[in-house]
Structure formats: structure tokens, C-alpha cells
Structure 1
């Protein structure tokens, strides 16, 4: 029996056409590449952008006058939310500006630390002390004041020590003057503290009274 193979016609071959410049897919791809390059370039430039800011050369205490020539300048990178927190060189220092809080040496000057003399609610008071001061009692540190009244004279003529009592807490030290041989037991030191106005009468009475005033360093502040 004869067999025959039925030959079917071959399907037509479809040819891939090279996309033209007006092909939407090609244009979309080019746009994506260009956008990625531009975004990457912006990110790199933004990361490298710096701004000039003021920094404290030394510890600045409340009431200290602020001037551009008394401050250092540093170039720093600040995030979008940080730029408004600090005083930049482009802003400049306001006329008759004073510090309204302690700014540590090397710290970037915050806008919140800059104000006018009228914004201060403290007054400097010199407290002479005969005690041996801690080396951590320095400008910018905090101290507590204790009043030690003069001894109490009893009926038999003997004297008894009076009980010390707290006078003021957490006062900022503006300045310390130590005698030669600063940490020896001899000589008197003078510590200038910033006293809130409502506490000033009591502190002033104790400093000028017959008793003595002892200064206690607040741990964790100053040196």
C-alpha cells in the first residue's frame, strides 16, 4: 500500500523590527535612565553641601556678650530639619546679643542660646569661699549653695555648731578666681554665680551675713 506524506506549507517568519526613535517604549526607557542619573547626582551634591556655622571657642555662660569676632567658624553638613536650629555665618550675630544659656566649648551655637540682656532672669553674684574647691568648679558648671550660720551660743557660755541649710541649687558658675596654688588649702577663692532674681535676696543676705556659704559642685557638670 502506497503511503504519501502530506506536506504542509511553512508558517511565515515574522521579522523583529528595530525600534525607532519615536517608539514609546524606547522613549520611556531613556527618560527613566536620565531621571536616575539626575537623582543620583542631586543626592551626591546634597550630601557634599556644607554650611558655615558659629562655634564656641570656649565655654560661654549666660549673660556673656556674643560677637562674630569672638566666635569660631566651622563647615558642617546639616540635615533639612537642622539648619533652622543653628546660627549660620550667613545670618550673622544680632547686635547686642548675649548668651541666655551655657554653650560648651566646641559646641555649634544654637539659635535658642542667643537672646537679649532683657531675656535674662539671673544676676551675677561673687561668693568668696575659704574652702578647697573641686577642680570641676569652672565656668559653665553648676553648684549648690549651703548656708552655714555662725555657732549658737548656749546658756552656759559654750557654743554649738549651727545646722547648715540649703540656700540655692543648680546655679551656673560664670567665673572662678583662685589664688596662687589653686588647690591648696590656703587662700580664698571667689566664685561668681548666676542667681535667679527671686532667690537673690536670700543668697545676698547669706553671703553678707555672719555665717559662711559653702559651695558644692553638681556632679556631671563642668570639668
Structure 2
């Protein structure tokens, strides 16, 4: 039986062409690499970028004018806090601005902590105290003001019949300490400490009356407010 050989075409080898600069796939790959590099560079720059802001140099208390001598400048990294609510050192300080609430030592100065004098309803009152106050009575801390009536006696050493009138009682609570004058040097053992407190207008009459009466005033620190 005869067999015939089929004449099949010889296979042709496929030649791989080197991609040219105009190849869409090559251009897309280069674009992705460039975008990744740019994104990484932007992330590094953003993480290292800082903004100068003001911090309090010592506690700032209501009624105090804000000047460069009471502030320091620190650099804060972007993204760590919302800096829109704080005073930026890149901007001039507000003119005639005063503190309307306590700003702690080293604290970023919030814009909301500043205002005008018309926003304040407190007056500083100097309170001399015979007994040295605790270490917690510092500028910016809160204190309660107590009145201790003088002991009145009649006859042969008998107490007067005033009952509760002789009992110490609170005059005002949660007053901000604006200044503390402690005697020093040779007067440390003899002079009285004077604590300047900010008294709201509606409590001012009773505090001034107590200062003018026959008795003594004492300041009691509110725990946790002297930091």
C-alpha cells in the first residue's frame, strides 16, 4: 500500500520585538513608577514639615495682656494637632488682646483664649493671709476663698451668742489666682502672703465687705489645678 507524504509548511519562528519608547505599556509603567516616587517624596516632606506656633511662657491668667515677652515659639509637625485653633507665630499678635481664660505654662495658646477687656467680668482683689498657703496656690490655679470671723467674747471669757455667725464659711469658690506675693529674705517669717484672686463682679461686694470686717480670709487650693 502506497503512502504519500503531505507537504506541510515549515513553522516560522516568531521574532520578539524590543518595545519602543512609544509603546503604551512601557509608558504606563513609567508613569506608575514616577507617581510612586512622587507620592513617597510628598509623604516624607509632609511628615517632616513643621509650623511655628506660640506657647505660654508661664501661666497666662484672665485680664493679662498678650505680648511677645510672655510667649515662646515652638515648631509643631503638621498633622499632629489641628493648628487652625491656635496662634501661629507666622502671624502678628492681635492688638489689645487679653487673656479671657487660663492658659497653662507651656500650653499652645488657643485663639479662643484671647478676647477684649469687655469680655471679662472679673476684678483682681489682693487677699492677705496670715497662714502661708499651700504649694498648690500658684498663678493660674483655682482656690476657694473662706472667711474666718474674729472670736468675740463678752463678760468673763464667755463666747458671744452669735451662733453660726462665728463659724468659718466660704465666700467664693473656684477663683483664679493671678499673682502670689510671698515674703522672702528677712521678712519670710513675719510678713503675710498676699494672694491676688480674680473675683466675679457679682461676688465682689461680699468679698470686699469681708476684707473690711473683723476677721481673716484664707485661700484653699482646689486640688489638681496648679499644674
Which range, TM-score by smaller chain?
0.7 to 0.9
Q: Secondary structure at the match of 1:137?
A: coil
- 1:35 Cα deviation after fit: 0.9
1:216 CA displacement: 0.6
The Cα offsets for residues 94-118 of structure 1, whole Å up to 9 and x where unpaired, read as 1111111122222222212221111
1:58-207 matches, within 5 Å, as 58-79=58-79, 82-151=82-151, 153=153, 158-159=158-159, 162-180=166-184, 186-207=190-211
Partner in structure 1 of residue 52 of structure 2? 52
- Name the TM-score, length of structure 1 as normaliser: 0.86
In 1, Cα distance between equivalents of 2:199 and 2:88? 31
Give the TM-score of the pair, scaled to structure 2.
Answer: 0.84
Q: Deviations over 1:115-143 (max 9, x none)?
A: 11111121111111111211221111111
Deviation at 1:10, TM superposition (A): 6.0
Question: What is the alpha-carbon distance in structure 2 between the residues aligned to residue 220 and residue 81 of structure 1?
Answer: 25
Distance 1:116 1:107 in 2: 21
The runs of 5 or more residues in structure 1 that have no matched partner are none
Measured after TM superposition, the shift of residue 34 of structure 1 is 0.9
Say how many residue pairs are matched. Answer: 223
Residues 9, 59 of structure 1: CA spacing in aligned structure 2 closer, same or farther, 3 A cutoff? same
Query: Using the alignment, how far apart are the partners of 1:218 and 1:33 within structure 2?
Result: 61
- Unpaired runs of 5+ residues, structure 2, are none
Would the alpha carbon gap of residues 181 and 73 (structure 1) be closer, same or farther in structure 2, given more than 3 Å must change? same
Let me know the Cα RMSD of the aligned residues. 3.0
User: Structure 2: how far apart are the matches of 1:126 and 1:87?
Assistant: 31
Contact preservation (8 Å) 2:97, 2:116: yes
Secondary structure of 2:206 counterpart:
helix
Distance 2:132 2:83 in 1: 44
Shift of 1:65: 0.8
Partner of 1:211: 215
Matches within 5 A, 1:15-30: 15-30=15-30
Shift, 1:79, TM fit? 2.0
